[in-house]
Amino acid sequence: MSDSLATLVEDKKFSNFTIIHGYYKKVGDYDIRVDVLVPKKLSDGKRPVITRFHGGCLVLGDSLFPDWFAGWLLDLAYKHSAIIVSPNYRLLPEATGLDILDDVEDFWGWLHSSAFTDLLSKHCQPSNAIEVDLDRILTAGESAGGYLSIQLALSHPDEIRSATASYPMLDIEAPHFSAKYEKNILGTPQFPDNTVTDHVAKIEPGAVLTSATPPDRIPLMFAILQQGKFLELLQRGATSEADRKKLLPLKRIENNEAKLPPGGLFINHGTQDSVVPADGSEKFVRGIRDPMQGRVAAGNVTLSLQAGEHGHDAEANLDDEWLRDGLMGVVDFWLG
């Protein structure tokens, strides 16, 4: 284990969990890590599963970066003796959006393979063997991770019980992500115009990056948003209309093509979010509730808008009324 990974694992936020490291995919010479968080106190029986994706604008972050790992999600897993499976994935702009979605699909395949159960058994004694229930999966993620949580839920609605997403990136064609103008993002000053172009120009062919913990690449992330380069970088290499649509959740719910997991979807978003504006979540919910979208019932999706900036739920706990009420339906169905 590297020193940097050891530092993440030892963070007090994860003190109630045993963390198992594995790899779900190899790209060239690079292994892509997945972390399995097992509550130290487990009840008997097959354990439900939470698949969780980290945030970072698809540009930075790590599965175990504690500052961006929702405490309430850890509490939810601990309360219900659920196993959290949290993968890294390739990052922009070294990768493309299609590369990232490929990683998510390969992670999904790995989760349903013997490799996952072998990883668990390798780190557990026969006396405390862990049996997971892949018929009870809840998806989760923050920001870019919320985008991936919803993407996975739309791709596998019949194999996932319920879905959640915190301040997800959904309206990616909006000017915030696609146009250059002065944006007050967390009060950060404007970065030079060449921040993004210089970085992209230095990328070596075949370069792969799957982990970058702040403050690394923070200027790059903000510059991408400030200069409206996110949509362009996400869609790089997507030459067909079908591929471009695959990357855009709002496009995927058009024309009665959307289907959610049976337990529905809970989204939470801060109304003052300057990194990922909340109107993207509102637009997505309106689309999914459109009466023309007959395959999705309005009651299956809940949006909780709370005062606050990006990461507004950092101090939230399961006893907070807005969170408790928003989670109630999806969690009950997930565990049922």
pLDDT 10s digits, 82-108: 999 999 999 999 999 999 999 999 999
Q: Model confidence at 294, in pLDDT bands (50, 70, 90)?
A: very low
The set of catalytic residues is: 143
Distance, in Å, from the CA atom of 102 to the CA atom of 112, rounded to the nearest integer, reads 16
> Does residue 44 have a pLDDT over 70?
yes
Model pLDDT for residues 198-225, shown as the tens digit of each residue: 999 999 999 999 999 999 999 999 999 9
pLDDT at 75 over 90: yes
CATH superfamily of 3-335: Alpha/Beta hydrolase fold, catalytic domain (3.40.50.1820)
Dist CA 101 CA 90 (whole Å) = 9
Residues in the chain: 336
Is-contact 67 155, C-beta < 8 A? Answer: no
For 200, the token pair is: 């992209």
Within 10 angstroms of residue 124's Cβ, the number of other Cβ atoms is 14
Q: What contacts 13, CB < 8 A, 6 or more positions away?
A: 66, 69, 71, 74
Between CA 218 and CA 289 the distance in angstroms is 35
Which pair of tokens denotes residue 15? 């003190």
pLDDT at 295: 40
Q: What average pLDDT does range 105-127 have in this prediction?
A: 88
Domain ranges of the chain: 3-335
Place of tokens 């019980």: 161
CA distances from 132 to 16, 44, 87, 273 (A): 19, 11, 17, 36
Share in percent of the chain as helix, strand, coil (round to 5): 40, 20, 45
Residue 123 pLDDT grade (very low, low, confident, very high; cuts 50, 70, 90): confident
pLDDT the model gives residue 313: 97
Q: Which pLDDT score is estimated for 6?
A: 79
> Which token pair is 305?
């808008």
**pLDDT the model gives residue 126:** 55
**Sign of the torsion formed by the C-alpha atoms of 125, 126, 130 and 132:** positive
Distance between CA atoms of residues 176 and 152, nearest Å:
24
- The answer to whether the beta carbons of residues 167 and 280 sit under 8 Å apart is no
Alpha-carbon distances, residue 174 vs 146, 147, 180, 238, 305 (angstroms): 17, 15, 11, 18, 19
> Model's pTM, two decimal places?
0.96
Q: What CA–CA distance (Å, rounded) separates 145 from 157?
A: 17
How many C-beta atoms surround the C-beta of residue 36 within 10 A? Answer: 23
Q: CA triplet 171, 153, 157: central angle to 5 degrees?
A: 130
Distances from the Cα of 176 to the Cαs of 7, 51, 173, in angstroms? 34, 28, 8
